[in-house]
């Protein structure tokens, strides 16, 4: 618990006594500035006596009065940073603990945002200062409490996150032989097997006062945010080229520089990206998303997305969706290869744009002209090749029969090129997107995200 030091108490006493003496002087001499001086001194006194917001927050958390010994794989590790008990949740130092677990860790601090991440035995965690939103293997979830940053050390909810990583946690508070010897708290971590975590395995930490919700903090728990997002913008991109290589002749190509500026804005403004699985759960009312959630999509699967967009998004840990054509379709620009798709899977997920439906027959899109049998086979083949569940309509063309065929072939959502936001309760086969084009300036981009009507 944050305590007022003797020095601080004495300082407040000095100010108080000095104020009293000055008040006596003011009223004794009949000073003309009596009321002004009185007001100033009272304000100073109130400023010192009333705790600031930061002091109040510090008083709401306390270092656990234990020497912490971590037991892992038969070895003991003395934690250098204390555990913190805040609002009934025990927090541990992120870097120190995940380093002891053998995780690959890192961070990004830019535009006032601090993100930390850890990769541990097939588990990827991405947390951010000041928000309960976090990612576990690219799934957006919510922490029980906002992780604090204390004297430059980032803390995380100990039991909650380790349970997600497949660890059982058990506390044991050791005894001391004399009053001068500090109590030692022993934390035992055991690796568990997937699917074997049960409620009984979450054990209260004796002496810490930590709350036990009895849920076991399973990854399947729905995310909760206050306030939640009411809508989500989905952005649509196509081909990218460096500014000096683009002559402006195509309406779907944007410059690499413009794309980088847009991604910088998204990060600086606090936006988060989500996968299509999260978006589907949002649409169907099964999951909340935080405000400033956005979905990034790319149609046609151009190689430029791998060459230019991929490294820009990767630095911010953004996720995005590729809708490639899976057939042998000839474009005037290269498309992503299988090797590119595999290398960029940490940013992109891949869903269908059709196998061989990206062309016109006369003035009508092939999807609307070909026989139902041909279309069904095309849709089925593309979905099976990509092992996906979402579809992007080629040239935005579809009808009720198209939607029925998508359902029959195993898809559960599809995207149009109609502008607008995605809301809970929307038809998952008529989802709207905002196209980003060469004429989309940054102010237009911001307007699409926040103020489109």
Average pLDDT over residues 258-273: 98
pLDDT, position 424:
97
Of 63-67, 114-118, 214-218, 340-344, the one with minimum mean pLDDT is: 214-218
Percent of the chain with pLDDT over 70: 75
- The set of residues, in sequence order, having a beta carbon less than 8 Å from that of 319 and lying 6+ positions away, is 138, 273, 274, 275, 296, 313, 347, 348, 349
Pairing mode, strands 133-136 and 139-142: antiparallel
Is residue 146 scored above 70 in pLDDT? yes
Single out the residue of 172, 309, 289 nearest to residue 240, CA to CA: 309
Average pLDDT over residues 354-371: 90
Single out the residue of 61, 55, 70 nearest to residue 209, CA to CA: 61
Average pLDDT over residues 319-343: 89
pLDDT (tens digit per residue) in 51-72: 444 444 444 555 655 678 888 8
pLDDT band at 248 (very low <50, low <70, confident <90, very high): low
Spatial distance between the Cα atoms of 326 and 321, rounded to a whole number of angstroms: 15
Cβ neighbours around 42 below 10 Å, total: 12
Query: Do 320 and 273 contact (CB within 8 A), yes or no?
Result: yes
Question: Is the whole-model pTM more than 0.85?
Answer: no
pLDDT, position 20:
45
Q: Which sign does the torsion angle of CA 64, 67, 72, 77 carry? A: positive
Is residue 211 scored above 80 in pLDDT? no
Mean pLDDT of the chain: 82
Spatial distance between the Cα atoms of 145 and 134, rounded to a whole number of angstroms: 11
Distances (CA, A) of 364 to 17, 359, 394: 88, 9, 11
Is residue 32 scored above 80 in pLDDT? no
Which is more confidently placed, 346 or 85?
A: 346
pLDDT (tens digit per residue) in 158-196: 999 998 888 888 877 765 555 555 567 788 888 875 443
Spatial distance between the Cα atoms of 384 and 402, rounded to a whole number of angstroms: 18
Single out the residue of 285, 298, 251, 290 nearest to residue 415, CA to CA: 298
Average pLDDT over residues 152-156: 94
Is residue 447 scored above 90 in pLDDT? yes
Single out the residue of 122, 108, 450, 133 nearest to residue 313, CA to CA: 108
pLDDT, position 103:
95
Of 23-27, 210-214, 236-240, 258-262, the one with minimum mean pLDDT is: 210-214
pLDDT, position 65:
56
Spatial distance between the Cα atoms of 282 and 272, rounded to a whole number of angstroms: 14
Average pLDDT over residues 96-116: 95
Length of the chain: 453
Average pLDDT over residues 264-278: 97
């Amino acid at each position: 618990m944050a305590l007022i030091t003797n020095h601080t108490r004495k300082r407040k006493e000095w100010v108080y006594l000095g104020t009293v003496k000055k008040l006596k002087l003011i009223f004794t001499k009949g000073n003309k500035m009596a009321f002004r001086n009185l007001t100033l001194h009272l304000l100073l006194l109130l400023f010192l006596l009333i705790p600031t917001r930061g002091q109040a927050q510090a008083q709401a958390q306390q270092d656990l009065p234990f020497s912490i010994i971590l037991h892992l794989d038969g070895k003991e590790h003395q934690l250098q940073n204390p555990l913190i008990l805040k609002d009934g949740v025990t927090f541990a130092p992120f870097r120190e603990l995940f380093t002891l677990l053998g995780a690959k860790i890192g961070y990004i601090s830019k535009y006032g945002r601090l993100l930390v991440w850890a990769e541990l035995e097939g588990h990827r965690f991405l947390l951010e200062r000041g928000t309960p939103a976090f990612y576990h293997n690219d799934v957006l979830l919510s922490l029980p409490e906002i992780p604090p940053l204390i004297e430059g050390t980032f803390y995380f909810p100990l039991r909650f996150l380790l349970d997600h990583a497949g660890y059982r946690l058990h506390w044991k508070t050791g005894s001391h032989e004399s009053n001068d010897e500090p109590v030692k708290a022993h934390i035992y971590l055991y690796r568990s097997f997937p699917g074997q975590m049960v409620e009984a395995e979450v054990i209260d930490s004796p002496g810490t006062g930590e709350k036990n919700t009895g849920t076991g903090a399973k990854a399947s728990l729905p995310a909760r945010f206050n306030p939640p997002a009411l809508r989500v913008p989905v952005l649509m991109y196509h081909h990218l080229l460096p500014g000096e290589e683009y002559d402006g002749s195509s309406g779907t190509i944007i410059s690499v520089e413009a794309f980088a500026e847009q991604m910088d804005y998204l990060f600086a403004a606090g936006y988060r990206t989500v996968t299509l699985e999260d978006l589907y759960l949002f649409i169907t009312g099964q999951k909340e998303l935080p405000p400033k959630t956005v979905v990034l999509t790319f149609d046609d699967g151009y190689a430029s997305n791998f060459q230019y967009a991929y490294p820009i998004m990767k630095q911010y840990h953004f996720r995005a969706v590729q809708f490639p054509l899976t057939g042998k379709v000839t474009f005037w620009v290269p498309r992503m290869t299988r090797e590119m798709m595999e290398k960029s899977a940490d940013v992109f997920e891949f869903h269908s744009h059709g196998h061989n439906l990206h062309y016109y027959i006369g003035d009508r899109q092939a999807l609307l002209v070909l026989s139902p049998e041909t279309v069904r086979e095309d849709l089925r083949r593309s979905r099976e090749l990509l092992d996906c569940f979402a579809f992007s309509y080629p040239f935005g063309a579809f009808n009720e029969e198209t939607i029925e065929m998508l359902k029959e072939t195993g898809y559960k959502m599809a995207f149009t090129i109609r502008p607008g936001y995605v809301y809970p309760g929307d038809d998952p086969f008529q989802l709207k997107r905002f196209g980003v084009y060469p004429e989309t300036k940054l102010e237009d981009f911001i307007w699409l995200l926040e103020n489109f009507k």
